[in-house]
A and B are shown apart, each in its own frame.
Chain A
Amino acid sequence: MLSLEHVSKSYDTRHGRRQILKDISFTLARGRNIGILGRNGAGKSTLIRLISGAERPTSGRIRRGMRVSWPLAFAGTFAQHLTGLDNLKFVCRVYNVNYKTVLPFVEDFTELGPQLREPVMHYSHGMSARLAFALSMAIEFDCFLIDEAMVVGDARFHARCNDELFKKRKDRAFILVTHNAAQIREHCENAVVLCEGELLQFPTVAAAYDFYTSMPVAAPQIGAR
């Protein structure tokens, strides 16, 4: 069970305090999923960081009753000078997994071949994303955080991601954050809309979809942090 209780987050900027998230509450039970729709700058990435635990809410609390992954395909945690394999070993050590058991899967999924033993700084954006995604699949998580903006890659990668995530791990919970309403309709059983830092609840995915697609495009806000 994952729950957010009256979570707010604000940052100090040069133009004074800026509230990104206002009093957000929702819960996600084991094996369920939720889609969060939001335009650029609505606070989606901030919300992901809060849920993943990299940052702390200004007020309110987040309870994690299950193992929550880091944002899927997020390659920022890699040490650039280390090889892909060393990074893999590090993640395995942190999550207490024997790296030998996951290595075949990672090698197969990333299709990096000998490149896996090269420093990550030589990887392309897509290669890093593949490795990061494979790693989050290799570790047993109860709940996946998916920031659509982070999952970059070609169509084949997307297809394989969808296969791993939505087919093979159907029993897991996930939170999908995207600005793409079609994605939500395709994968999620619940949907909410994040609009100017506030979370709007809807009884059905269709209702959220309709609201989001008919929403007037708000004046562009200062870019997402």
Chain B
Amino acid sequence: MITAWLRGHLLFTFAVLVPTVCSVLYFSLIASDVYVSESHFIVSSSENAMPSGGIAEMLMGASLSHGQSDSSQVHDYILSRDALKELSERLKIEQIFAHREANFFDRFPGLTGGRSFEELFLYYTKHVSVEPDPMSSISVLSVRAFTPEDARRINAELLDMSERLVNTLNERSRRDLIQFADNEVKIASDKAKDAAVALLSYRSNQTVYEPNKEAAIQLEGVSKLHQQLITTEAEIAEIRKLSPDNPQIAGLEGSADLLRKTINAETGKVTSSSGSFSARAPTFERLQLDVEFADKQLGMALAELESARAEAQKKQIYLERLTQPSVQDKAMEPRRIRSIITAFIVSLLFWGIATILVATVREHGE
């Protein structure tokens, strides 16, 4: 009698009864318990401001704040092939996923039977998920496995690996930031050294220390000689007036001439074209300027290096574990009752649509 009814309601049988019975069988007998291990972490940097999340941000579009891009770097990494590769070096991930007690459909390699790395990766991405919490920047890492301990182990290992990644990233960004400033300092100090050496060797070659000052001293001597000359000439003139034949005159004139000659010779030392102080001054001045400039540059480069260090310090990102990987003592997945009800409702919907459509199609045949 039942078969007669089923045969009379083929559509209902195939669209509703068969799928529902299948899902009941699957979820009550076959489906393996799946344990979820969850951990919460936050990726933040010291300079990171909390995302505003207002209408302004919506209008401004995707200007990601640093914290988000940092955490998405971690998310990307967790779901990457690199992470899986590293993970399978540390844990026997393939064996964990191919757990003996798990049923044929759920465990790795599953129905397709392939054991390639790509298939493992596909399986991995279906069992590991990392989601940002919508209201905060907390990330939730959940791992599904067939025993609670396996799930926890994978989760913990992934957290460790993420921490290492964050450290590597920090190291790299630090290096990138400081390297440039460091280089600048090196160049500047080289230049400063060169300039100092050039000045020093000029001094020893030319046997001068400070041409300007030395010229000034020279000129001071000359002006004293001038003074003496003027005094001597005045003396001569006075004696001539009183007694033109005074024998002193010849002696005085001799000394005046000597003074004049000395003055000429000494002035020549300062201003004459070759080897004088005034000829040496430009070169000396240039070398001195070089030294000053190089010193200033070095100071600037050093300051820059200091600020780059500070910047790098600020850009450091941290992965903070808010909760350690959890261990479930009861499998919460699969949600058997819920799945069965869902399957039933969906197949009912299918049946409803199919029934009406079939009736509509039939009306076309007269």
User: What is the bound-complex CA distance between A184 and B31, given in angstroms?
Assistant: 75
**Which residues of B lie under 8 Å from residue A67 when comparing CB positions?**
366
Whether, in the assembled complex, A106 has its beta carbon less than 8 Å from a beta carbon of chain B, the answer is no
The 3 A-B pairs with the shortest beta carbon distances in the complex, nearest first, are A64-B366, A67-B366, A68-B366
**Which residues of A lie under 8 Å from residue B366 when comparing CB positions?**
64, 67-68
User: What is the bound-complex CA distance between A67 and B366, given in angstroms?
Assistant: 7
Chain B, interface SS category: loop
The residues in A between 63 and 78 inclusive whose CB is less than 8 angstroms from any CB of B are: 64, 67-68
Q: Mark B351-366, 1 if CB is under 8 A from A, else 0.
A: 0000000000000001
Residues of B within 8 A of A (CB): 366
- Smallest CB gap from B363: residue in A: A53
Shortest A94–chain B CB gap in Å is 10
**Which residues of B lie under 8 Å from residue A64 when comparing CB positions?**
366
User: What is the bound-complex CA distance between A68 and B366, given in angstroms?
Assistant: 9
- What are 3 A-B contacts with C-beta separation under 8 Å? A64-B366, A67-B366, A68-B366
- Smallest CB gap from A53: residue in B: B366
User: What is the bound-complex CA distance between A67 and B365, given in angstroms?
Assistant: 10
Shortest A142–chain B CB gap in Å is 10
Shortest B364–chain A CB gap in Å is 10
- Smallest CB gap from B366: residue in A: A64
User: What is the bound-complex CA distance between A64 and B366, given in angstroms?
Assistant: 7
User: What is the bound-complex CA distance between A180 and B366, given in angstroms?
Assistant: 31
**Which residues of B lie under 8 Å from residue A68 when comparing CB positions?**
366
Shortest B77–chain A CB gap in Å is 60
User: What is the bound-complex CA distance between A133 and B366, given in angstroms?
Assistant: 21
Shortest B183–chain A CB gap in Å is 79
- Smallest CB gap from A66: residue in B: B366
- Smallest CB gap from A63: residue in B: B366
Q: Mark A45-80, 1 if CB is under 8 A from B, else 0.
A: 000000000000000000010011000000000000
Shortest A224–chain B CB gap in Å is 26
Shortest A140–chain B CB gap in Å is 13
Shortest A53–chain B CB gap in Å is 8
Shortest A27–chain B CB gap in Å is 16
Shortest B261–chain A CB gap in Å is 126
Shortest A34–chain B CB gap in Å is 19
Shortest A95–chain B CB gap in Å is 11
Shortest B67–chain A CB gap in Å is 62
User: What is the bound-complex CA distance between A39 and B295, given in angstroms?
Assistant: 120
User: What is the bound-complex CA distance between A138 and B53, given in angstroms?
Assistant: 71
User: What is the bound-complex CA distance between A60 and B5, given in angstroms?
Assistant: 27
Shortest B256–chain A CB gap in Å is 131
- Smallest CB gap from A142: residue in B: B366
Shortest B360–chain A CB gap in Å is 13
Shortest B128–chain A CB gap in Å is 56
User: What is the bound-complex CA distance between A43 and B366, given in angstroms?
Assistant: 24
Shortest B365–chain A CB gap in Å is 10
Shortest A136–chain B CB gap in Å is 15
Shortest A114–chain B CB gap in Å is 35
User: What is the bound-complex CA distance between A166 and B215, given in angstroms?
Assistant: 143
User: What is the bound-complex CA distance between A189 and B366, given in angstroms?
Assistant: 26
Shortest A69–chain B CB gap in Å is 11
Shortest B11–chain A CB gap in Å is 22
Q: Mark A12-36, 1 if CB is under 8 A from B, else 0.
A: 0000000000000000000000000
Shortest A91–chain B CB gap in Å is 16
The residues in A between 157 and 200 inclusive whose CB is less than 8 angstroms from any CB of B are: none
User: What is the bound-complex CA distance between A61 and B111, given in angstroms?
Assistant: 53
User: What is the bound-complex CA distance between A209 and B366, given in angstroms?
Assistant: 33
- Smallest CB gap from A68: residue in B: B366
User: What is the bound-complex CA distance between A44 and B268, given in angstroms?
Assistant: 142
User: What is the bound-complex CA distance between A84 and B366, given in angstroms?
Assistant: 26
- Smallest CB gap from A64: residue in B: B366
Shortest A144–chain B CB gap in Å is 15
User: What is the bound-complex CA distance between A19 and B274, given in angstroms?
Assistant: 136
Q: Mark A121-164, 1 if CB is under 8 A from B, else 0.
A: 00000000000000000000000000000000000000000000
Shortest B163–chain A CB gap in Å is 70
Shortest A57–chain B CB gap in Å is 14
